[in-house]
Structure 1
């Protein structure tokens, strides 16, 4: 079977994979997935993907052996399985978050595509990239990305951002907070991030407060 489809199925079955692989096998799987990511030629990528599949079959034969694959093979579409992709398994294991699958995967890609600063840049400019009130997203390889909209000049954060991020509990749910800031809001007529520094900025905290009260 297409190795990328098997890795996609492993992402969809992440709870079973996480519980079923011992430490050494998880480390081997992580190494192979990292190689899949950074390979510059298709042959090298395919070889690493096949090695990752071997780890899954070795550690979870009931799920990814011949009989296990037969149970879910009908739901495979090319490189995908039920909307999951091989990259989703890398995100789960290497990046350490769950923004994967047919619903959350596109959100992850959209948010990571937004302009951002890395932690080193913020530190060099005298800021604190680890401040509780700032949104930090994990990109490929677990690299921290701080959405650029949070900063007015250099690495000076908007006060409104700090207040709203506290209300949105950005330290607990950074992806949800980033999505709120960067998505069009029907009440505001724009994405909240677009209103920073403008006359409607004062409405942002009230709107975020109403959102959290409704949960």
Structure 2
């Protein structure tokens, strides 16, 4: 991961990142990001990016930045055969975010919902077949302020309009009809039980394992 990619990832998830760190950790992260901005040359830039990655490795595994940067200490800023470039505009914005107060609960919620809306999805017309054959609890439906109702793509069998059976089962467990955002967050966030993102694991791990992870969450509650 290059410094540019690191900054872009932080920039996108700044609210969740700040919320996951205490005051001392935010101060340390601010200093490390500042050092990245001051770094000149390939070696110093690579080292500065590595230090930022080290800070972010403290984030929970299910955190979007923490999950993406799980191996950042090893990979951040590695020489890819070209000069490392830092996006100064993004870095300036990031420093401003880090210098300010922690995000409010509303800002964190808005940022999380925007992240969920950014995932590939289909509109109501292309989801009609699945919707017709499924109950309200079977399918996650997220309302986009501009595009209307959206159905995350991972729910469907590739190349079809059919709902994946395991997705319907898990969505019922997670009460997707009552809390579609919470259900979407479970599918698209890091999961320690599965050691990955459930939506990304569909088709690669047994359906029973994904269902067991959802049951474990419900039982813990």
> How does the TM-score come out when normalised to structure 1?
0.50
Alpha-carbon distance between aligned partners in 1 of 2:114 and 2:175, rounded to the nearest angstrom:
21
Dislocated runs of 4+, deviation >4 Å: 81-84
- 1:102-117 pair list within 5 angstroms: 102-117=107-122
Per the alignment, residue 191 of structure 2 pairs with: 185
- 1:156-195 pair list within 5 angstroms: 156-195=162-201
Q: 2:213 aligns with which of 199, 207, 212?
A: 207
Alpha-carbon distance between aligned partners in 1 of 2:172 and 2:213, rounded to the nearest angstrom:
13
Displacement of 1:140 after TM fit?
1.2
5+ residue gaps, structure 2, are 1-96
5+ residue gaps, structure 1, are 1-76, 85-99
Q: Relative contact order (alpha carbons < 8 A, sep ≥ 6): 1 or 2 greater? A: 2
Alpha-carbon distance between aligned partners in 2 of 1:117 and 1:199, rounded to the nearest angstrom:
24
Deviations, residues 28-74 of structure 1 (Å, cap 9, x unaligned): xxxxxxxxxxxxxxxxxxxxxxxxxxxxxxxxxxxxxxxxxxxxxxx
CA change 1:142–1:101 in 2 (3 A) is: farther
Alpha-carbon distance between aligned partners in 1 of 2:178 and 2:166, rounded to the nearest angstrom:
18
Deviations, residues 66-114 of structure 1 (Å, cap 9, x unaligned): xxxxxxxxxxx9xxx9857xxxxxxxxxxxxxxx822211101100000
Q: Does 1:140 align with 2:145?
A: yes
CA contact (8 A) 1:82 1:102 kept: no
Displacement of 1:202 after TM fit?
1.6
Per the alignment, residue 157 of structure 2 pairs with: 152
